[in-house]
Amino acid sequence: MSTENQNRRDFLKKSLITLAAVPAAGVAAQAILSGTARAAGEKLVDEKDPTAAALKYTHAGKKPADYKEKRGGVEPKDQTCANCILYVKIDDKIGKCNMIANGAVKAGGWCTAWQKKA
């Protein structure tokens, strides 16, 4: 296993542990399942949803001011839901996220769990 794959696994493991600590994040396991199902007419998740907020998700793909992390060779400015491994496309504008159960995310969105799509 490559170091990058190990780092990715460690990161995802830590993210799931973090989610487990968020009240109402009992939905995390459910999120993993629902992300595989495409839902027509899916509503966008509220950015204040506990899981989305814990992950600092924004529809606009805004990163925290101090976020400078290049992941998988991708600069922060180029990291979006559309090129995240956890994104399941519904259409060109939205998709489901395997981390967020309560609604769709925008293709141009972003959160701290972003990982490069393989």
Cβ 30 to ligand SF4 shortest distance, Å: 15
Does position 34 interact with ligand SF4 (CB under 6 A)? The reply is no
Neighbours of 97 (CB within 10 A): 26
Instruction: Residue 31: count other Cβ atoms within 10 Å of its Cβ.
Output: 20
- Report if residue 81 touches ligand SF4, rule: CB under 6 A: yes
Nearer to ligand SF4, 5 or 89 (CB): 89
Residue 96, strand partner residues: 88
Joined together, the tokens standing for residue 34 give 């629902």
Q: Indicate which single residue of 19, 54, 100, 101 sits in contact with ligand SF4 (rule: CB under 6 A).
A: 100
Quickly list H helices, the chain. 3-20, 28-34, 50-54
Q: Is 87 in the site for ligand SF4 (CB under 6 A)?
A: yes
Binding-site member from 28, 94, 101, 110 for ligand SF4 (CB under 6 A): 110
Q: Under a CB-based contact definition with an 8 Å cutoff, are residues 27 and 101 in contact?
A: yes
The token pair at 80 is 């979006």
Task: Please name the amino acid found at residue 107.
Answer: A
Q: Can residue 104 be called a binding residue for ligand SF4 (CB under 6 A)?
A: no
Q: Which of 25, 28, 31, 84 binds ligand SF4 (CB under 6 A)?
A: 84
User: Which residues of the shown chain bind ligand SF4 in the complex (CB under 6 A)?
Assistant: 55, 57, 81, 84, 86-87, 97, 99-100, 105, 109-111, 113-114
